[in-house]
Amino acid sequence: MIEQRLSNERGYANHGWLRSYHTFSFANYWDPKQIGFSDLLVVNDDQIAPTKGFGAHPHKNMEIFSYVLSGELEHKDSMGNGSIIRPGDIQLMSAGSGVVHSEFNPSTSNKTAFLQIWIMPNVEKTKPGYQQHYFPTEEKRGKLKLVISEDGHDNSLKIHQDIRIYAGLFDKDEEAVFDISDNRCAYLHVAKGSLEVNGLVFNAGDGARICREKQLIISHGHGAEILLFDMRLV
């Protein structure tokens, strides 16, 4: 079963400097039917105005994944990390026992668009950690590239959860097939463009809970950029 959640069904917040669409309940957006999915808790589609951002704030016992779509995101944290995250980069911060960080748009003229994703860890009070890795376009072109996993397989970033996250770029006749085990579920988020999954049309901002599907056929992309989460069936 593929349960679509269209872009215009998401929550929305406009703070002036920040415009954010919430796939799941977050902050002032509350929908009892949209309280995460499996271990995936937050998918926020954010746009930050030039020179603005999130000031220093704490997190604890959460895996936080940032995926930049356009522009740049400047990260600083209490572990001493400081970096610029750009399209193609995968950034993963394990908050563990506690960390303070900030995220800003360093540009004086361009917006930053990025996905902020929170995943519940399977262990608490771990030592906080930070990882960042660039995955070139050719590794995602017409295929699903593993970017985050519990065991760090295939040069992916390691996360404290039984989850595998894939990124893919699809256009024209490019096609990928993804098999789902009986004890697993999946979540699809379309970050850009459009494509079809098992014959269903998805556009930018659309997502889907996927259960009891043995296989996904991803095809007919038009500038599509997607994330696919392979998770525990709970």
Domain span at 29: 2-232
- Read off the pLDDT of residues 186-201 as tens digits, 9 standing for 90 and up: 999 999 999 999 999 9
Percent of the chain's residues with pLDDT above 90: 100
Per-residue pLDDT, 100: 97
Residue pair 165/118 in contact by the 8 Å Cβ criterion:
no
CB burial class (10 A; 0-12, 13-18, 19+) of residue 88?
Answer: middle
Instruction: Check residue 225 and give its pLDDT.
Output: 98
The CATH number of residue 152's host domain is 2.60.120.10
Dist CA 12 CA 28 (whole Å): 9
Residue 159 pLDDT level (bands cut at 50, 70, 90): very high
Average pLDDT over residues 151-157: 96
Tens digit of each residue's pLDDT (9 = 90 or more) over 40-79: 999 999 999 999 999 999 999 999 999 999 999 999 999 9
Whose CA is closest to 128, among 58, 178, 176, 192? Answer: 58
| CA neighbor of 225 nearest in space, from 186, 168, 146, 144 | 168
Condensed to tens digits (0 to 9), the pLDDT of residues 126-145 reads: 999 999 999 999 999 999 99
Dist. CA 43–CA 194, nearest whole Å: 18
Mean pLDDT of the chain: 97
CA angle centred on 67, ends 202 and 72, rounded to 5°: 120
State mean pLDDT over 111-122: 98
> By three-state DSSP, how is residue 155 classified?
helix
CA distance 110 to 149: 32
Q: What percent of the chain has a predicted confidence (pLDDT) above 70?
A: 100
Q: Which residues are paired to 224 by β-bridges?
A: 170
pTM confidence score:
0.97
149 closest CA partner among 167, 165, 168:
165
Closest by Cα among 60, 62, 29 to 44: 29
Say how many domains are in the chain: 1
Predicted confidence band of residue 210 (pLDDT cuts 50, 70, 90): very high
At residue 1 the predicted structure's pLDDT band, cuts being 50, 70 and 90, is very high
- Measured distance CA(174)–CA(225) in Å, rounded: 12
pLDDT at 30: 96
